[in-house]
Amino acid sequence: MQDAVSRIYPLLERVHQPADLSRFTPAETVALSQEIRQFLIEAVSKTGGHLGPNLGVVELTIALHRVYESPRDTIIWDTGHQAYVHKLLTGRKDFRDLRQEGGLSGYPSRAESAHDVVENSHASTALSWADGVSREKVRSGLPGEVVAVIGDGALTGGMAWEALNNIASDKERPLTVVVNDNGRSYDPTVGGMAHHLSLLRTSEGYERALAWGKRTLMSMGEPGRTAYDALHGMKAGLKDFLLPQAMFGELGFKYIGPIDGHDIVALEFALERAKAYPEPVIVHVMTEKGRGYVPAEDDEADHFHAVGKIHPETGLPVAPERFGWTSVFAEEIVQLAEKDPRIVAISAAMKEPVGLRPLSLRFPDRVVDVGIAEQHAVTMAAGMAFAGAHPVFAVYATFLNRAFDQLVMDVALHDAPVTFVLDRAGITGNDGASHNGMWDLSLASMVPGLRVAAPRDAARLRELLEEAVEWNEGPSLVRYPKGAIPKDIEAVECHNGIDFLVKVDDAKTVIVSVGPMAHNAAKAAQAIGGVDVIDPQWVLPVGENLIDICSGYSRVIVIEDGVVTGGVGAQVARLLDVPVEVLGIPDSFLAQANRDDILHRLGLDVEGLVKTIRR
């Protein structure tokens, strides 16, 4: 890989650490940008990864590392999926195993480099991190500046504004906030802030601001006319005067911008100004997501935000994409909404990834995208339910963690009929520790009145989703994993709502399978013989019917793709008098690897289950 870099990317080969960039001429930095884009397209097309966001921040990242001295100066990325260029410029050029076991993480990683700070990939957190680092540097007299790069929709998150409020309240320290304004997250960025940024970056908005400024200054008499004459014709000066009033000035920030995010000279000039200023500064940078790659630039639906393996020439997938579980949900929620006008759906900036785009096309007024604001989404859902709707909040399982308080206090406490649909529940694999949706069952088990369903296949997903949206006595939750959906498994018997997937005479051991873990459980039981397998479908709270059935066995094994502490198995063990063995995810973060390898390592595949049963 290094030989290839040297041969095909001679400028990139000269960069082993950020300090090396200081020896580049402005013309060379432009050529380096082109090399980096070509490298990213070639490398990510082979492994999959976040292509669009990184193509958009090439010049910005180069400028940051030319102006600031990382790691002495702390650069914090929000969200971390736009840090591939940062990795390249800090000496990490081997992208052959990107997002695979033993390879580079798809996000910043402290284990990889001293230049990385925040490892998790959840948006809207960088400003809080930067606030904390900055405060302690000032208090302790530590050297170095602090820079937070926020964007890709992250300013729609409430945490970002909580942090801005606190940063602005303490002006006795330098801190630079770079707003990477590309108008998108996964989907086009929504909300008033997105509209306001859009207004500032359009000629119409600029002219409107110009007219407002002229009227304001002229109304001030001779001093105002003098000020207007001084600013008139000075584009940068006029913006510096006007835009803080329109946006960040009231918060107390020095504002620089908008800056062309693909002009390295302009970026460096703006960042040097920010670095020299002794108080918090906003640098507003306009970038184009997918810059320099025609398929990504022409993609309005932003399929190139994250890609699998693709043909670099066309951007088409190497193998047809299989959305599996998500596609089944996408079809079923449209059919349910056709029949039930109370159903409305909510997305947190991810309509396409969670399968809500078809519903938004069919019923545009019944899908609300709140941006990266999961807490707001959950409480808003409670309000919609109070007013007569049945909200369906579709979200990645790991992102519901952010709204646990709202789930408890706003939804469950009020018995609000809200359905949560958790995509990518359990082990997701290559996206790493922050994306494994492994906590949802344990968290849900603590929420009074929350009913949780775990479908094992497509047929059960359709059935359980319909039952969930018909339940109006309180909240419900339906969870399923990432990836292709397995074949349907029909029950051989059904007793009081509990499906028997394997039933033999005189079995002493029963496996309680949670969701799609039923497939491995059934194969393992059939390989050994003498073992029953049951699927409760509605897994939480644990029902008396499940306990009654399990009481008839001398040994119970619960298999789930969630953490074992507090999950379904823990609840079953609490209620049963017979021995219960719980197989799931230990209380530790999982390193990136593909889902099958992680299941094997944890003993949750067929081979591991056979060993456990025999033991």
Report which residue type is found at 394. Answer: A
* Torsion angle, alpha carbons of 155, 159, 476, 443, to 10: 140
Q: Maximum distance among all alpha carbons in the chain?
A: 99
**Residue 402 is among the residues annotated as catalytic for this protein:** yes
Tell me, yes or no, if 374 is annotated catalytic: yes
Catalytic residue among 92, 93, 289, 291: 289
Q: Is 203 annotated as a binding residue?
A: no
Q: Kindly report whether the peptide bond that precedes residue 26 is cis, defined as omega within 30 degrees of 0.
A: no
Q: What are phi and psi of 331, to 5 degrees?
A: -70, -45
120 is in an annotated binding site: no
Catalytic hit among 137, 402, 456, 460 = 402
**Residue 293 marked as a ligand binder:** yes
Which residue is it, tokens 């090439």?
Answer: 58
> What value does the CA radius of gyration of the chain take, rounded to a whole number of Å?
27
Q: How far apart are CA 194 and CA 275, in angstroms?
A: 26
Residue with tokens 């119409």: 204
Q: Round to whole Å and give the CA distance between 109 and 122.
A: 14
Question: Has 121 been labeled as part of a binding site?
Answer: yes
Q: How many CA atoms lie within 13 A of 550 on its CB side?
A: 28
* Distance of alpha carbon 86 from the chain centroid: 19
**Which amino acid type is present at position 203?**
S
Do residues 469 and 419 touch, judged by C-beta distance below 8 A? yes
Q: Which one of 145, 268, 374, 560 is the catalytic residue?
A: 374
Dihedral Cα 476, 482, 488, 489, nearest 10 deg? -80
Q: Confirm or deny that 123 is annotated as ligand binding.
A: yes
84 is in an annotated binding site: no
Q: In angstroms, rounded to a whole number, what is the distance separating the alpha carbons of residues 352 and 329?
A: 12
Q: Classify burial at 611, counting beta carbons within 10 Å of its beta carbon; exposed 0-12, middle 13-18, buried 19 or more.
A: exposed
Q: How far apart are CA 194 and CA 295, in angstroms?
A: 24
Q: Which residues pair with 49 in a beta bridge?
A: 307
Q: Is 122 annotated as a binding residue?
A: yes
d(Cα 457, Cα 519) in Å, to the nearest integer?
9
Q: 4 - beta bridge partners?
A: none
Exposed/middle/buried for 233, CB within 10 Å: 0-12, 13-18, 19+? exposed
Q: CB count, 10 Å around CB of 10?
A: 12
Tell me if 221 is assigned to a ligand binding site: no
Task: Write out the binding residues for Mg(2+).
Answer: 152, 182
Task: Write out the binding residues.
Answer: 81, 121-123, 152-154, 182, 293, 374
Q: Annotated catalytic sites, by residue?
A: 289, 374, 402
Task: Write out the binding residues for thiamine diphosphate.
Answer: 81, 121-123, 153-154, 182, 293, 374
